[in-house]
Amino acid sequence: MKNIIGLNAIGFNTSACIMINGKIKAAIEEERLSRNKRTRLFPEKSIEYCLKSCGLQINDIDAIAISWNPLINLEKFDKFQSRNLSYLPNILHAALNHIIKNKEINEKYFNQTLLLKKKKIEIFFIKHHLCHASMAYLSNFSNSGIVTTDGFGEKESSTLSNFKNFKINKINENFFPHSLGAFYSTFTEYCGFTPQSEEWKLMGASSYTKNENLYKKLKNLVELKPEGKFELNLNYFNHYQFHRPNYFNSELINYLNIDPRQNDMGPMSKKYFDIANSAQRVFEDVYFHQIKYLKSISSSQNLVVSGGCAMNCVANGKITKNTGFKNIFISPVPDDSGACLGAASYLVNEIRNQKKKVFLKDYYLGPSFSNKEIEIKLNKYQIKYKRIKNIEKHAAKEISTGKIVAWFQGQLEFGDRALGNRSILADPRSKRIKDLINKKIKFREKFRPFAPAILKEFADIYFEENQSSDYMELALKFKKKVISKVPGVVHVDQTGRLQTVDKKYNLKFYNLINEFFKITNIPLILNTSFNIQGEPIVCSIEDAIKNFYLSGLDKMYIGDFEISK
Ligand SMILES: [Fe+2]
């Protein structure tokens, strides 16, 4: 089995990747190409990109691995689960077709064979949480504990497993509707944000205030059970009703005695910051309860965290302190977009027993454009530009004089984290910079922080804990003595969601920060994704041009070209 396509084709954030001889060669989210944020569209354009980037056609593919097993949704299950059936009609149709031929249901996966232009392509539908857990194959660990936590898979909402000898062994699971992801989404919606999309806004808002009474109230909604399990008090939630108008219900409103916030209500008041803080604290209580149990029965010091909840970098930054695990791996795409990587990895290792560690360090897996291609487009749209010799040095100088710049270089990142190829960059020494970017460029809420990208070798000088965070997966505390030097990237709780930049994996971005360091003696810059609110991160040259002119950006560095306003 040489050429494999991995897909996340169900739910939000559809995506595709291509694996050749056990190596991931390309990956992209459909939203980057369709320009429809968090799209549910089948990842047709993503498949096309993956094939094209490897010079292949669909009949060169040997197998397709999909991160969902719809047969599981056909089992007889409890009243909550049975309501799912009407929610997934397309899968139901495909699965019914198959179930006629198969009497026994394999919990882990099922496969079909497609005959395409005389070529047999095997299609594997793999259990969702097994795909999340398979991110362990992408880590550099040979053994680890694994926790997967999200809204829901087919039936599961979280799993605990051990990883050893190229095998994932599940220890236990928590079933939907008792779901940590759904708990967090409920309060995301309660505070006026979009559930299953804007959870990071709730996380950003969670650091401002504290209200012990409200925290206790929210804590009472979740019961921690033995063996890392938990149950929600379902009387207060609506997420398991798929015809739901909302995640929360009137019982929850009465219980909290706070009206849900509408998004057009203007700036958030204290009571919603209190809700955000309480929800975050309860989230962490459950998260660490799961992980601590895993540690108590695991001999490994290593932990892989995956599933949508692993996007919570505030909680991630506290894992080592709270759970006993020493080394943490969280990919930059732990959510469903990244499940396509897990699906392909599961297929080669667990189904085909090929024992192929798919270790992936570099997540720059999307499209890139040559200087020639960029120049043709700039001429076509009659945009004035300058070709610059040492663009890193030039951009660093502009940033150090207060300019806010767009940085469009190399291959697009896979995942929601801007890792220095499609980024907006600015001077972290400025106190005003956060408000300025929020207002003029991102058009977003004032309370949201911006992340620091720091030269890897300086991370322990600036942060209290010496942990690598190559993919912005952790929020760590700044050392007190440096806070006044970089106020633009210090959140109200004195943390920063850092990216440790390694010259081995992104030399251009490293050089840019190093040039900034030579000018300012500060080895870090403010780095946020190159997009404006409501839009996916830019992918093409045209996306970059549109976002540049629709925002208050001062300069754009695209390939070797500088564009000014
Ligand atoms: Fe998931």
Q: How far is the CA of 287 from the centre of ligand 1 (A)?
A: 16
Q: What is the pLDDT of residues 547-560, one digit of tens each?
A: 999 999 999 999 99
Report strand pairing: 63-66 vs 144-149: unpaired
Q: What pLDDT shows up at residue 77?
A: 44
CATH fold group of domain 3-129:
Nucleotidyltransferase; domain 5 (3.30.420)
pLDDT at 253: 96
Q: CB burial class (10 A; 0-12, 13-18, 19+) of residue 112?
A: middle
pLDDT, position 485: 97
Fold match flag (3-129 vs 371-564): no
For residue 513, how far is its CA from the centre of ligand 1 (angstroms)? 35
For all residues of the chain together, what is the average pLDDT? 91
Distance 155 CA to ligand 1 centre (A): 11
Name the pLDDT band for 82 (thresholds 50, 70, 90): very low
For residue 426, report the distance from its CA to the centre of ligand 1, in Å: 33
Class of domain 371-564 (CATH, top level): alpha beta
CA of 16 to the centre of ligand 1 (A): 15
pLDDT exceeds cutoff 80 at 516: yes
User: What would the pLDDT profile of 126-170 be if each residue is shown by its tens digit?
Assistant: 999 999 999 999 999 999 999 999 999 999 999 999 999 989 999
- pLDDT for residue 80 is more than 80: no
Q: Which residues contact 424 (CB under 8 A, 6 or more apart)?
A: 404, 405, 406, 407, 418, 437, 441, 527, 528, 529, 530, 553
**pLDDT at position 92 over 50:** yes
Structure tokens at 330: 């969280």
Name the region of 139 (left: φ>0; alpha: ψ -120 to 50; beta: rest): beta
CA of 182 to the centre of ligand 1 (A): 11
CA of 152 to the centre of ligand 1 (A): 6
Exposed/middle/buried for residue 217 (C-beta within 10 Å: 0-12, 13-18, 19+) = middle
Distance 135 CA to ligand 1 centre (A): 12
CA of 125 to the centre of ligand 1 (A): 14
Ligand 1: distance of its center to the CA of 485 in Å? 39
When pLDDT is averaged across residues 479-505 and rounded to a whole number, the result is 94
pLDDT category at 443 given cuts 50, 70, 90 is confident
Residue 202 CA to ligand 1 center (angstroms) comes to 19
Domain ranges of the chain: 3-129, 371-564
Q: How far is the CA of 262 from the centre of ligand 1 (A)?
A: 27
Q: What's the whole-model pTM score?
A: 0.92
CA angle 486, 489, 493 (to 5 degrees): 105
CB neighbours of 216 closer than 8 A, spacing ≥ 6?
none
Dump pLDDT digits (tens) for 325-354. 999 999 999 999 999 999 999 999 999 988
Cα-to-centroid distance, 11 and ligand 1 (Å): 9
